């Protein structure tokens, strides 16, 4: 359904071009959930935004490569064609619903707008579908909520409204950018259960962006690990947890808090931070934080190699 091929995204920063995403390739099949995993600053959200070309004009974004959706290259699509795809065929749930919902309009108005743009339904039928979807995502007071403003809702309720808005037109692909980050654990579990149920009912494919390994294990069939704008590993979820091959993936696994850890024991943090775009001139981008780095790691970029069974890794010395 979705194929991203050698995607490179460049922004103008202080008079020069920098690429927070550089040569990313992966695919997503019909009725499949793929996780996009990595630390903040790895390029996950920028990759997701590029699918619908949701960059402000001021960023002067320059995209190359290909993003094919049902055989159509979205990078070559005209603005009018993209407007027909956004929300109807590909929908996105953003990380912070309070900044995604318009504070000046009632909830019902914002959901109804989606149906007015993409369908020819009458007002009465639009209102009925809005109420039905709000109830479907677990909002019991749907008839009252349509007349309320976003600020009067809790974080979990706002996130459910965003999910309802994204699913109104029954899209083929749902992009979720860390949809549970700002929510407490109980609400996180409810949102994930809701997404799983709706995926099964509507056969929607999901691209799930997260840095939470538990969410990946629970929700995804395959996972793509990104670091400093590149794919460093991708495989099935079972394979990734059973035999992670890249040192960065190993480090992410070790950084997870353990339930049986000794109280007060320090976390296994990854030393250093993700390098800024354009600051690594040669070699592997994880070299400065990798305990296994050798001379070749500093000199040459490793290719993305196939270890078998669809397990790919970008490392000179994979585990």
> With pLDDT > 90 as the criterion, what percentage of the chain qualifies?
53
Per-residue confidence (pLDDT) for residue 290, from 0 to 100: 93
Residues 188 and 297 placed together within one structural domain of the fold: no
47 occurs within a structural domain:
yes
Domain enclosing residue 286, as ranges: 246-256+269-319
187 occurs within a structural domain:
yes
pLDDT tens-digit map of 197-227: 878 888 889 999 988 888 899 899 999 999 9
In the predicted model, what is the mean pLDDT of the chain? 89
Residues 252 and 125 placed together within one structural domain of the fold: no
User: Is the pLDDT score of 182 beyond 70?
Assistant: no
Domain count for the chain, please give it: 2
Residues 194 and 288 placed together within one structural domain of the fold: no
Question: How far apart, in whole angstroms, are the C-alpha atoms of residue 248 and residue 55?
Answer: 29
225 occurs within a structural domain:
no
Q: Bigger pLDDT: 13 or 83? A: 83
Residues 296 and 206 placed together within one structural domain of the fold: no
> With pLDDT > 70 as the criterion, what percentage of the chain qualifies?
99
Residues 190 and 284 placed together within one structural domain of the fold: no
Average pLDDT over residues 133-138: 86
Q: List Cβ neighbours of 69 (8 Å cut-off, separation of 6 or more).
A: 1, 2, 51, 85, 89, 90, 173
pLDDT tens-digit map of 25-54: 999 998 899 999 999 889 999 999 999 998
Residues 69 and 189 placed together within one structural domain of the fold: yes
115 occurs within a structural domain:
yes
**How would you write 216-281 as a 3-class SS string?**
HHHHCCEEEEEECCEEEEEEEHHHHHHCCCCHHHHHHHHCCCCCCCCCCCCCCCCCCCCCCCCCCC
Where does the pLDDT of residue 125 fall: very low under 50, low under 70, confident under 90, or very high at 90 and above? very high
Residues 299 and 169 placed together within one structural domain of the fold: no
- CA distance from start to end of the chain: 32
């Amino acid at each position: 359904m979705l194929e991203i091929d050698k995607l490179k995204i460049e922004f103008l920063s202080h008079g020069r071009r920098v690429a927070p995403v550089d040569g990313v390739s992966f695919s997503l099949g019909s009725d499949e959930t793929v996780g996009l995993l990595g630390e903040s600053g790895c390029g996950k959200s920028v990759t997701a935004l590029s699918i619908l070309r949701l960059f402000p004009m001021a960023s002067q974004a320059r995209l190359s490569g290909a993003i094919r959706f049902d055989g159509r290259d979205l990078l070559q699509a005209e603005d009018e064609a993209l407007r027909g795809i956004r929300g109807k065929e590909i929908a996105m749930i953003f990380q912070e619903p309070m900044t995604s919902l318009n504070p000046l309009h009632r909830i019902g108005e914002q959901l109804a707008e989606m149906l007015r743009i993409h369908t020819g339904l009458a007002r009465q039928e639009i209102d009925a579908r809005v109420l039905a979807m709000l109830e479907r995502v677990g909002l019991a007071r749907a008839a009252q909520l349509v007349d309320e403003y976003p600020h009067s809702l809790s974080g979990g309720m706002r996130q459910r409204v965003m999910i309802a808005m994204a699913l109104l037109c029954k899209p083929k692909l749902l992009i979720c950018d860390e949809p549970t980050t700002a929510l407490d654990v109980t609400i996180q579990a409810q949102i994930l259960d809701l997404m799983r149920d709706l995926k099964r009912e509507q056969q929607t494919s999901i691209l799930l962006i997260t840095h939470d390994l538990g969410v990946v294990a629970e929700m995804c069939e395959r996972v793509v690990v990104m670091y400093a704008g590149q794919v460093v590993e991708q495989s099935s979820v079972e394979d990734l947890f059973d035999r992670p091959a890249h040192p960065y993936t190993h480090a992410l696994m070790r950084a997870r808090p353990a339930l049986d850890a000794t109280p007060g024991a320090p976390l296994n943090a990854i030393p250093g931070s993700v390098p800024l775009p354009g600051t690594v001139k040669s070699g592997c981008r994880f070299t400065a934080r990798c305990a296994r780095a050798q001379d070749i790691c500093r000199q040459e970029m490793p290719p993305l190699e196939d270890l078998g069974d669809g397990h790919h890794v970008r490392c000179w010395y994979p585990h």
